[in-house]
Chains A and B, each alone.
Chain A
Amino acid sequence: MAFQEILGYSIDELNEGDKATFGKTITETDIYLFASTTCDFNPAHVNEAYAKGTFFKKRIAHGMLTTSLISNILGTILPGPGTIFVSQNVKFLAPVYIGDTITAEVTITELNREKNRAIFAAQCINQDDVVVLKGEGMIMPPKKKK
């Protein structure tokens, strides 16, 4: 396998306005695996009896789990393999429940070709078109030999 073949888009191949999406139904398994990976067993995520007494009424997904779908796009689709995450800024706007289907969307908004840095805007939308998360961030797209 040639190293260059699996690389994502380099900064010269990207344009402002480029967009990619990734959708996933958030399962109970995702939430429990995420809880064990991060050791975050906040009862709001893993305790149904407790969650009934919260504002949300049932277990919600970890916000960081939803954010991670953005990381999926960056690392596998746009710019894709070889991309390095530099920084991120996120606001959680609505809860995500078990069984919700979340579509993450990343749009390239700014390119600095000399420094190999790209700024992106991101959002996650549920099956009812409610925006559950909004954010932006900076990445380094993969470099390709000319």
Chain B
Amino acid sequence: MNIEFKGKTIDKIKVGDTAYFAKTISESDVVQYAGITGDVNPVIVDEEFAAKTHFKKPVVHGMLLASLFSNVVGTKLPGPGSVHVSYKVSFINPVYIGDTVEIKVEVVEIFKETNSVKMDVELMNQDGVQVMKGMGVVMPPTADMGYEKAKA
């Protein structure tokens, strides 16, 4: 078996191609994300504060959830070497620490001239509730990219 360390080039992508990634959002994810970004909104990091909001307990950063889109694009579809061009997301329902979320990314349009693909994205929690949806434009890796080119 020779697993290529490279994502799909545009010629190998079809409309309807789908990829998933699921993860239980842990407290360490939220704390680490707050540390990286400096986003310490009390809705997220302050239990006493959050108890008084209509969410009743701390919620997960919306952008942490949106970042799972980057995971699928960068590791699965198109995969390694892909570049995110733009995206658009709506946060529909809150996600709490301990929730398991699954992201689904689906190719809806292919633009060969500009080496880019349009993808729909949807995030569901363990109860089948949609928590985020949106779309994005991504550039898949090109055939000559990676180690060989680096050595050349």
Give every chain B residue within 8 A of A70 (Cβ-Cβ).
63
B39:A72 contact, CB within 8 angstroms: yes
Give every chain A residue within 8 A of B35 (Cβ-Cβ).
33
Q: How large is the interface on A (under 10, 10 to 19, 20 to 34, 35 or more residues)?
A: 35 or more
Number of A-B contacts (CB under 8 A): 164
A30 at the interface (CB under 8 A from B): yes
B89:A87 contact, CB within 8 angstroms: yes
Tell me which of A39, A62, A92 contacts B86 (CB under 8 A): A92
Question: With contacts A37-B29, A41-B74, A44-B74 known, is A49 near B68, CB below 8 A?
Answer: no
Interfacial residues of chain B within 16-59, with CB under 8 A of chain A in the complex = 21, 23, 29, 32-33, 35-44, 46, 49, 52-53
B39:A76 contact, CB within 8 angstroms: yes
Give every chain A residue within 8 A of B81 (Cβ-Cβ).
42-44, 50, 54
Give 19 A-B contacts (CB < 8 Å), ordered by A residue: A34-B67, A37-B29, A44-B74, A45-B74, A53-B151, A53-B152, A64-B84, A68-B39, A71-B39, A75-B44, A83-B43, A84-B43, A87-B89, A88-B66, A89-B86, A90-B86, A91-B85, A92-B84, A92-B85
The list of the 10 closest CB pairs from A to B, nearest first, reads A42-B74, A75-B41, A53-B149, A53-B150, A52-B150, A68-B37, A87-B90, A40-B71, A85-B62, A64-B67
